[in-house]
Amino acid sequence: MKPLLHVPTISVPEAKARVERFRKVLSGAMPEENIPRAVLIPIADILAIIDKYQFTDKDGNTRNELQGVRAYFAIKEADENLPNDVTALIVPVNLKGQDIINTNYALGDDDVDTDIYDFTKPCPDVCDPESPLFVP
């Protein structure tokens, strides 16, 4: 059996209350059906980011240069066939707590080869309507 994770968790009732509060706050700004419920973050993509910043030190120990990842909430620009989708842009965070962007944009390049990842899938669209957190 794997050891228990020692990370903060909350109860289902507390989680539901937070989700309900979030939806209530946003209900004044947009129609109910447009309020984002969640974003799915594919584990394979997170593992790929972790792998990119993993290295072996001179003593043969595996190390990682990341503290974690940061999610920036964003809305894609709508067109006729695509509604505004809330996504989370994922950015790796170094051990000093700084975003790793890796771009030449500051040099005037409109470079899409960055470490700003857009692989999340929004809910509505990719949802679990059976989840206790899928509140009305």
Mean pLDDT over 55-65 rounds to 91
Whole-angstrom distance, CA of residue 12 vs CA of residue 133: 8
22 lies in some domain: no
**What letter does residue 114 receive in the DSSP assignment?**
S
* Most confident stretch, 81-85, 108-112, 121-125: 121-125
The pLDDT score that the predictor gives to residue 46 is 93
User: What pLDDT sits at residue 60?
Assistant: 93
Give the domain range for residue 79: 36-123
Does 108 fall in a domain? yes
CA dihedral 128, 46, 11, 95 (to 10 degrees): -160
| Residue 92 scores a pLDDT above 60 | yes
Domain count for the chain:
1
**Residue 76, in any domain of the structure:** yes
On whether residue 11 sits in a domain, the answer given is: no
Mean pLDDT over each residue of the chain, to the nearest integer? 84
Residue 98 lies in a domain: yes
Residue 1: the pLDDT is 56
Residue 1, domain member (yes or no): no
Please list the residues that pair with 40 across neighbouring strands: 121
Which of 32-41, 59-68, 98-107 holds the top average pLDDT?
59-68
- pTM across the whole model: 0.75
The answer to the question of residue 109 being in a domain is yes
- Kindly state whether residue 136 falls inside one of the protein's structural domains: no
DSSP β-bridge partners for residue 94:
66
